[in-house]
Amino acid sequence: MLNLRELQSRFFRAIARVPGGGEREGFDSTLLQLVQGRGRLGPAQRLDLYAHMYCARLLDALHEDFPRVAAILGFERFREIARAYLARNPSAHPSLQYLGRHFPEFLNTAVEDIELLPFLADLARLEWTRLEVFDAPDAEPLQMEHLQAIPLDEWPGLRFRLIPACQVLRSAWPVHELWTAGEEAALSALMRPTATVVRVWRQGFTVYQASLDAIEQVALDGVQTGEPFAAICAALAPLLPQQEEAALAVGSLLTRWIEDGILARLQPN
Amino acid sequence: MACTVPYLGHGVGLRTQHFPRVWEGTARVDWFEAVSENFMIRGGRPLAVLEKAREIAPLVLHGVSLSLGSTDPLNDAYLHDLQTLIHRFEPAWVSDHLCWGSVGGHYAHDLLPLPYTEEALTHVVERVRAVQDRLGRQILLENVSSYLTFSHSTMPEWTFLAEVAERADCGILLDVNNVYVSATNHGFNPAEYLTALPAERIGQIHLAGHSDQGTHLLDTHAGPVSAPVWDLYRLALHRYGRVSTLIEWDERIPEFDELCAEAERARAIECEICGGFYAESP
């Protein structure tokens, strides 16, 4: 007789062994002897129902989290890769929302012929980032009137902070274009490597994304690393040799960030 | 002792599809039940909608991953998150399932069946007590639909559930659809199940749809409540008196008003069985 611990271990192994792998002739015989098979279903068929539900639920969850990747790969190919992922990364969290957290990395390292679509792992990263941003902590955004209230002599030392629901993603591919293209998988053939930096943020309840030009990349880098405002301006100077241009660029960047709500309200010193 | 939760009337499960109605304040219903794990997040729309739902009507938290029957240690981080939700939203009560869903640190995200043995009974009672002590409140345990039973079980499910409730002093969330699905799949009499449960411990009833797969019934929550389940609900009300009742609908989810129409149907049946004035909720 199996004790409860052994029964549960064997049961879990049986239903998760080869997720969705078709025939399950090789069910654990000790376990099968404990399953009652009265009525129209035998013990193996009954256990197989649980194996099927395990697989279907988890594959559906991954499909929901990575719809663009799934659309490009096609239903069957996505499911095949997702099954391999589940075999190596069974859920280790009570909430299904964390199931796909290693999926982008898995696409990058563990899928043999993924080099045919080398941008796929980065597209998955973008999809995952959007999910993280969707339910990241709320924060009060910085408003224009807050900025206007800051005395001029404090500006050089100002340190801006991004809200928690803003992330910056770097890729060798214009993944944001692929994301926008939706299910036009044919576009993937047109993809050429282009160093791309995308910021993903939430404003209200909506998640947005935008690619960054060189100036915004440098400035946002400075914000993320906690540089004071004067240092950020200094870092931008080589990109904008004319002083008037630099002031204008910094001003318009701050305006855009405030309009997008990605800066957190400054904490009093 | 008994189950001490208040009577809330006839509610519906809070689902993403109905978030716009809740947000605009037009989702009128006696009470909402929210799946706890969906709100164990740090910010954004779901939590804001749950705040709104809580303003509209009483709220109950219903978990799916407490894994009370598991032989893994209780998940401390999970209980912490649940406690945080409880403090913030002050649910009328908290419930989870009489099942297991994890072992060796891995989660199946399913409600897996237990063998109904003394060993499992002792284990579950101890875990329910530990959770109640940690949360500082009585919880309700729900019977699950099942597709297999274990040959070394020494008692029927209804005896096991009643014993857990008595020994751990917890309440029972009776899922009438699950009783019907399991009764069909395992060939027992669902009326016997209902008769065996202690009436004073039934704090809530779940109603939902199932689908007939030919060889078995599947608990899909994908349609309206079936006629035999309504009949069983009548029997439950005869046996227990009026009980807070909730409609679950998780696949092919209808418009909010259609969902509420199912809850109204339950209200009408309750009035027919238990008496009282029948008035649709505003």
Terminus-to-terminus CA distance in chain B, angstroms? 35
Instruction: Give A112's contacts (C-beta < 8 A, 6+ positions apart).
Output: none
Could you list the residue range(s) of the whole structural domain that residue B181 is in? 10-274
CA of A89 vs chain B CAs: smallest distance (Å): 9
pLDDT tens for the 282 residues of chain B, in order: 799 899 999 999 999 999 999 999 999 999 999 999 999 999 999 999 999 999 999 999 999 999 999 999 999 999 999 999 999 999 999 999 999 999 999 999 999 999 999 999 999 999 999 999 999 999 999 999 999 999 999 999 999 999 999 999 999 999 999 999 999 999 999 999 999 999 999 999 999 999 999 999 999 999 999 999 999 999 999 999 999 999 999 999 999 999 999 999 999 999 999 987 555 544
- Please name the residue of chain A whose CA is at the shortest distance from the CA of residue B145: A50
CA distance B257 to A246: 57
**B149 to chain A: which residues are within 8 Å by CB?**
35-36
Q: Model pTM? A: 0.95
Q: What letter would DSSP give residue A226?
A: T
Higher pLDDT, B96 or A268: B96
Q: Is A260:A254 a contact under the CB 8 Å cutoff?
A: no
User: Which residue bears the tokens 């029997």?
Assistant: B235
Query: Residue B38's pLDDT is what?
Result: 97
Beta-bridge partner residues of B103? B106
- A112 and A30 within one domain: yes
Indicate whether B280 belongs to any domain. Answer: no
A23 has a pLDDT exceeding 60: no
Q: How confident is the model at residue A186 (pLDDT cuts 50, 70, 90)?
A: very low
Q: Decide which of A99, A117, A135 is a domain's last residue.
A: A117
- Please name the residue of chain B whose CA is at the shortest distance from the CA of residue A92: B106
**B216 to chain A: which residues are within 8 Å by CB?**
39-41, 49
CA distance A267 to B69: 47
**How many domains are contained in chain A?**
2
- A87 and A166 within one domain: no
Query: Residue A155's pLDDT is what?
Result: 94
Q: How confident is the model at residue A190 (pLDDT cuts 50, 70, 90)?
A: low
CA distance B202 to B4: 9
**A35 to chain B: which residues are within 8 Å by CB?**
148-151
CA distance A127 to A131: 7
CA distance A245 to A102: 43
- A127 and A101 within one domain: no
Query: What residue type is assigned to position A42 of the chain?
Result: G
Indicate whether B2 belongs to any domain. Answer: no
Note whether A94 contacts B123, CB cutoff 8 Å: no
Q: How confident is the model at residue A180 (pLDDT cuts 50, 70, 90)?
A: confident
A257 CB neighbour count, 10 Å cutoff: 22
Note whether A135 contacts B71, CB cutoff 8 Å: no
Q: Quick: pLDDT tens for A93-151.
A: 999 999 999 999 999 988 877 666 888 999 999 999 999 999 999 999 999 999 999 99
- A258 and A155 within one domain: yes
- A128 and A112 within one domain: no
At B169, which CATH number? 3.20.20.150
Query: Residue B282's pLDDT is what?
Result: 44
Query: Residue A115's pLDDT is what?
Result: 64
B26 CB neighbour count, 10 Å cutoff: 11
Mutation target to probe the A interface, by most A beta carbons within 10 A, among B74, B148, B153, B219 is: B148
CA distance A52 to A46: 10
Q: Is B223 helix (H, G, I), strand (E, B) or coil?
A: coil
Counting Cα atoms < 13 Å in the Cβ hemisphere of A8 gives: 26
